Amino acid sequence: MNQGAELLLFLSHFNNRPFIPVPYQEMDWDQFDLNPKVIAALKKADIKSIKEILNLSGADLQRLMKLSNADIQCLLKTVSHALRRNSMLTGAVYICTEDVFPSKRLQQLIEQQHKLRADVPAEIIQKIKFGNSIFVEHAADLDTFHNCITKRISPLLTRGMVRLVVIDSIAALFRCEFGVSESVMKARYLQTFGAQLHSLSTRFRIPIICVNQVTDAVSDSEAAQCSCSIVGSRVSPSLGITWANQLLMRLMVSRTSQPERSPGVTSHHTGSVRTLRVVFAPHLPPSFCYYTVKLEGVTGIK
* Cα-based distances in Å from 174 to 80, 183, 188: 35, 11, 12
Neighbours of 264 (CB within 10 A): 5
Q: Which residue has the higher pLDDT, 293 or 80?
A: 293
Residue 91 has pLDDT above 90, yes or no: no
Residue type at 232 in one-letter notation? G
Report the alpha-carbon distance of residue 156 to residue 191 in Å, rounded: 24
CATH of 22-85, picked from 1.10.3470, 1.20.120, 1.10.10, 1.10.150, is: 1.10.150
Residue 1 has pLDDT above 70, yes or no: no
Q: Are 5 and 102 in contact (CB under 8 A)?
A: yes
Report the pLDDT value the prediction gives residue 23, as an integer from 0 to 100.
58
Q: Are 4 and 94 in contact (CB under 8 A)?
A: yes
Of 11-20, 44-53, 194-203, 241-250, which gets the smallest average pLDDT? 11-20
Per-residue confidence at 264, pLDDT binned at 50, 70, 90? very low
Label residue 231 left, alpha or beta by phi (over 0 means left) and psi (-120 to 50 means alpha): beta
Span between the terminal Cα atoms of the chain, in Å? 22
Q: Which residue has the higher pLDDT, 86 or 163?
A: 163
Q: Are 275 and 268 in contact (CB under 8 A)?
A: no
CATH fold for the domain made of 1-18+88-211 = Rossmann fold (3.40.50)
Report the pLDDT value the prediction gives residue 53, as an integer from 0 to 100.
83
Mean pLDDT of 102-126: 83
Of 105-109, 165-169, 263-267, which gets the smallest average pLDDT? 263-267
Mean pLDDT of 214-221: 69
Report the alpha-carbon distance of residue 125 to residue 140 in Å, rounded: 34
Q: Are strands 164-168 and 92-96 parallel, antiparallel or unpaired?
A: parallel
pLDDT tens-digit series, residues 121-161 = 777 778 777 887 889 999 989 999 999 999 999 888 887 77
Report the pLDDT value the prediction gives residue 261, as an integer from 0 to 100.
53
Mean pLDDT of 238-258: 84
Mean pLDDT of 7-15: 42
Handedness of CA 213, 130, 88, 60 (dihedral sign): positive
Residues 6 or more apart in contact with residue 11 via CB below 8 angstroms: 92, 164, 166, 207, 209
Q: What are the sequence ranges of the domains in the chain? A: 1-18+88-211, 22-85
Taking the whole predicted model, whether its pTM rises above 0.95 is answered as no
Residue 114 has pLDDT above 70, yes or no: yes
DSSP letters for 264-282 = TPPP---S-EEEEEEEE-T
Per-residue confidence at 87, pLDDT binned at 50, 70, 90? very low
Ranges of H-type helices in the chain: 4-12, 36-44, 50-54, 58-65, 69-85, 103-111, 113-116, 122-127, 142-147, 154-158, 171-174, 183-204, 220-225, 240-244
Query: Rounded to 10 degrees, what is the CA torsion of 111, 105, 294, 300?
Result: -90
Residue 278 has pLDDT above 80, yes or no: yes
Residues 6 or more apart in contact with residue 253 via CB below 8 angstroms: 1, 3, 274, 275, 276, 277
